[in-house]
Amino acid sequence: MTQIVKMKGMNKYFGKLHVLKNIDLTVEQGEVVVIIGASGSGKSTLIRCVNGLEEYESGTLEVDSHRLAPKAGNQKTLADIRKEVGMVFQQFNLFPHLTVKNNIMLAPMKVKNASQVVANATAERLLDRVGIGNQADKYPSQLSGGQQQRVAIARALAMEPRLMLFDEPTSALDPEMIGEVLDVMRELAKEGMTMMVVTHEMGFAREVADRVIYIHEGQIVEEGNPADVFDNPQNERTQAFLSRVLAH
């Protein structure tokens, strides 16, 4: 199998705070890796390093055969990586002055030099794919939070990424809207999309993940298939975390 992400001994600091500690992690093509852990454990920082939103200080990081050097000098490499890696954030980050369709068309036209005709067809196909084809001509403010997040997913897919990163994509949503976003992510997983997902949705992690990673204070302390991690965790920190989150 092709390794899309390779981290070896990766360390990340914010000032004196050691946020990620000697991270060793690989993600295979077609694999769904779900990252869990308490708030502030380093989960989001980890995936933000993958597309260069955060720079790391030491170790190595390769994304789809592109090596990101520590600290600086990655402009060209980052441009290549961001053509192949889509990311969906907690906040939707849609352009409020553009229609839903135009939000999606923008990246293919600007980054991949797609024609307006091709970008339009891509946007319409992806909006159908995420279940909101009838919302194409509305503006983001006219949509629910769940619909806006599905637009954000469609926008990321418009770049035809080899890897999708999700940073707690449902945390800003009302409870009744969470399911519709998770359903889209489930379909992506079934279609074989390589995904790294930071989430607090344990049911989703158990159902969809090929591998679950538990991070505690910047370290990977447990990883394995969902059944092993959720039903028979080996590390006492994992046991304590799951006993708290699964009790609610």
| CATH of residue 197 | 3.40.50.300
145-157 and 116-129 helices, crossing angle to 10°: 130
Residue 50 near residue 196 (C-beta atoms within 8 A):
yes
Strand order in the sheet with 194-198: 85-88, 163-167, 194-198, 32-36, 211-216, 219-224
On whether residue 100 sits in a domain, the answer given is: no
Q: What is the pLDDT of residue 54?
A: 92
On whether residue 169 sits in a domain, the answer given is: yes
On whether residue 151 sits in a domain, the answer given is: no
Residue 68 near residue 26 (C-beta atoms within 8 A):
no
**75's tokens:** 């402009």
Cα angle 25, 61, 83 (rounded to 5 degrees) comes to 110
On whether residue 77 sits in a domain, the answer given is: yes
Strand order in the sheet with 66-68: 17-28, 3-14, 58-63, 66-68
Q: pLDDT by residue (tens digit) across 63-106?
A: 998 888 887 667 778 888 888 899 999 888 899 999 999 999 99
On whether residue 126 sits in a domain, the answer given is: no
Q: pLDDT by residue (tens digit) across 9-18?
A: 999 999 999 9
Q: Which residues of 145-164 are buried (b: 16+ CB within 10 A; e: fewer)?
A: bbbbbbbbbbbbbbbebbbb
On whether residue 8 sits in a domain, the answer given is: yes
The number of helices, as runs of H, and strands, as runs of E, in the chain is: 9, 10
Give backbone dihedrals phi and psi of 215, rounded to 5 degrees, phi first: -110, 135
User: Tokens 């707690």 appear where?
Assistant: 168
Residue 64 near residue 39 (C-beta atoms within 8 A):
no
Q: What is the pLDDT of residue 91?
A: 87
In angstroms, rounded to a whole number, what is the distance separating the alpha carbons of residues 227 and 49?
A: 28
Q: Which parts of the chain register pLDDT below 70?
A: 72-73, 248
Q: Could you give the number of structural domains in the chain?
A: 1
Parallel, antiparallel or unpaired: strands 194-198 and 163-167: parallel
In angstroms, rounded to a whole number, what is the distance separating the alpha carbons of residues 225 and 46?
A: 20
List the domain range (segments joined by +) for residue 232.
3-94+163-246
- pTM for the structure as a whole: 0.94
Q: What is the pLDDT of residue 82?
A: 84
Query: What does the H/E/C string look like for 50-92?
Result: HCCCCCCCEEEEEECCEEECCCCCCHHHHHHHHCCEEEECCCC
On whether residue 49 sits in a domain, the answer given is: yes
In angstroms, rounded to a whole number, what is the distance separating the alpha carbons of residues 45 and 116?
A: 35
On whether residue 173 sits in a domain, the answer given is: yes
User: Tokens 């769940």 appear where?
Assistant: 146
